[in-house]
Structure 1
Amino acid sequence: MTSLPTQSAEPQVSEPQPATGPTAATAAVDALAEQRKRPPLPVALVLAARPRQWVKNVLVLAAPLSAAKLGHADVLRTSAIAFVAFCLAASCIYFVNDVMDVESDRRHPKKRFRPIAAGWVSIPQGLAAGAVCGLAGLGVAAIANWTTVLVVAVYMALHIVYSLWFKHVPVLDLAMVASGFLLRAIVGGVAANLELSQWFLLTTGFGSLFMVAGKRYSEMVVMGEEAAASRKSLKEYSQSYLRFVWQAAATVTMVTYSLWAFQLASTPDIAHKSAKPWLEVSVIPWVFIFLRYSMFIDNGKAGEPEDVVLKDRVIMGIGAVWLVVFATGVILVGARG
């Protein structure tokens, strides 16, 4: 007689299901963060200040350079003061921004390793460090003049408001970030009491918008539908719209720079007509810098503008050519005084 198969007396244990939701996401981020070597707190604070981003503050030298005054000792001194003040002010904003965005940063493939998002720096420590940097930036700016203090204070106020509210408002978020670059360029002239050309301001303003819109476009290309999880304003944008913005901004920047260069070259002083071809020719490398950088934006690789500029030898080479040509023309124009 054939016996029937008997069921096992052992209870069926189901495999544990992975947890989902914000708690699981936070736990996963914490696990990944722990895999990386946790630095000492002072090192973590320096990393959170983002010293690599300080390269953007070289813009404070733009106004003195365009006025052919950068070689003057007093202008060089005030430019250095403005540079240090903006480095400290920018770090203040980075600390505040990282505290405000700690949860969304933990869902970002790269931002989750920022010191505050990774848990290396606590939120109270980040806020305290931000306050120290902000006060130090204002103190350094006061060494130049009170107008410099005002510009630095406006920069910090705008970006704190941006971090709290306008970061999630389409179009205004682009304008607020672009204004930070414009204020960097303005403070160089303000610190040295130099007159700023309207073409210089337009070129800097729309060039800043080009960089910001390109950065947002790259974020959307890389992260796709997940981009809105780390930056809410991207939910309202489309790739085609951001493409329109950065292309329009690039066009305006190239046109205004050309007008600025030709204005500088139109000096009536016959003794210094040698400056004219240098300034006019400087338009060529300027345009090719934008064409080269636009290639990275189009491929979604301009999420970190400073990395694109510093790591691409072609952009660095064209930029060096532009700097030599433009500076030579400006120096020749300035020599007439």
Structure 2
Amino acid sequence: MVSTASSAPSSPAVPVALLRAGRPKQWLKNVLVFAAPGAAGVLDQWHELWLTMVTFVAFCCAASATYIWNDLLDVEADRRHPTKRRRPIAAGDLPIPVARLAVVVLPLLAVGLAAVTGRWQTPAVISVYLVLQMLYTLWWKHVAVLDVIAIASGFVLRAAAGAVAVDVPMSRWFVLCVTFGSLFIVVGKRYAELNELGAAAGVRATLEVYSAGYLRILLSVSMGGALISYCVWAFETGTASTSDWPFYELSIVPMLAALFRYLLVLENGEGAAPEEVFAHDRVLQLLGACWLVIYGIAVYSA
């Protein structure tokens, strides 16, 4: 008698598929949770570091829930996409009932973890993020301009979550820098997708509306806004610093170079997956390390 293989995924494969559906590579975005505590110079204190790490994990759970839910709703469209068809749900590696259960459990886990910080603002920010992503998945991702604003807002909420978790203020220039920087990354993603998909751009509704010229204008505006706000923030912070060395001002150099480098990456037809760019572009990694060292010295040597 000839045995036939079951079409259902094997038990050990399901947890792996669930982890893949949660897109752990995207968790890199949640590093923004450390931005405000790091800028405030409190990450050298164990309690604040612990609260920030808990908030980071909470955002990873929340983000993964939104990714899985999005894949559940877009499963048919993903199967027509050149790369998204390999996602666990679209490929049939993750059973639909398991994915639905994860969409219920992960947000509850995220809000519960955020509550551990002891500040009601942290689970509130996580909840706003979840609602925002729900609106994006159901509606805004099909509306040009609203789609990029919704995604960029998610980055700003990540930074805000880190700030409220350890109770440090965010300056208006910090908020503007994160906002314009987020728009730069998100618009760059749309620009790269438009160039990459070409005639197949119809798999994402807004790509049929955007033109390359329009996205280039948005890239210029967002990059300029990010650079100007960062420069003002660096100079203001440097003026208030007690250090004799202009480390805050010097951090502008690697920041400017990183923006220029990323713009070059976009012009070379990459950037549809920003996390892949940051993970593999050695020049960006070097510039990021230089910025981190210079800014770290500025904050923790004062």
- With normalisation by structure 2, the TM-score equals 0.94
Matches within 5 A, 1:263-302: 263-267=236-240, 272-275=242-245, 277-302=246-271
TM-aligned CA deviation for residue 38 of structure 1 = 11
Match runs of 1:1-337 below 5 Å: 40-144=13-117, 145-228=119-202, 230-267=203-240, 272-275=242-245, 277-332=246-301, 335=302
Preserved contact between residue 79 and residue 191 of structure 1 (Cα < 8 Å): yes
Task: Give, in whole Å, the separation in 2 of the partners of 1:187 and 1:106.
Answer: 34
The one-character-per-residue Cα deviations of 1:238-271 (angstroms, maximum 9, x if unpaired) are 111111111210111011000000000112x6xx
* Distance in 2, Cα, partners of 1:305 & 1:286: 17
Deviations 1:258-306 (A, max 9, x none): 0000000112x6xx2324x111111011000000011111122101111
How big is each residue's C-alpha offset from its partner over 1:130-154, in whole Å with a ceiling of 9 and x where there is no partner?
Answer: 1111111111001012110000000
Cα distance in 2 for residues equivalent to 1:244 and 1:125: 42
Q: Displacement, 1:74?
A: 1.5
| CA distance in structure 1 between the partners assigned to 2:81 and 2:228 by the alignment | 36
**Does the aligned pair in 2 maintain the 1:142–1:148 contact within 8 Å?**
yes
Q: Bigger radius of gyration, 1 or 2?
A: 1
* Partners of 1:136 and 1:244 in 2: CA distance: 40
- Counterpart of 2:259 in 1: which secondary structure? helix
**Gapped regions of structure 2 (runs ≥ 5):** 1-6
> Which region of structure 1 is more displaced relative to structure 2, 321-330 or 85-94?
321-330
Cα separation, 1, equivalents of 2:275 and 2:16: 21
Contiguous gaps of at least 5 residues in structure 1: 1-33
Cα gap change, 1:38 to 1:298, in 2 (>3 Å): farther
* 2-structure distance, mates of 1:156, 1:323: 30
Q: Residue 274 of structure 1 aligns to which amino acid in structure 2?
A: D
Q: CA RMSD in A?
A: 1.5
Report which stretch shifted further, 125-134 or 190-199.
Answer: 125-134
Which AA in structure 1 matches 2:23?
R
2:213 match: secondary structure = helix
For the residues of structure 2 that align with 1:306 and 1:186, how far apart are their CA atoms? 21
Q: How many residues align?
A: 293
Query: Partner of 2:4 in structure 1?
Result: none
Amino acid of the residue matched to residue 228 of structure 2?
V
One-letter identity of the residue aligned with 1:323: L
Q: Give me the identity figure in percent.
A: 44
TM-score normalised according to structure 1 size: 0.84
1: CA distance, partners of 2:183 / 2:97: 33
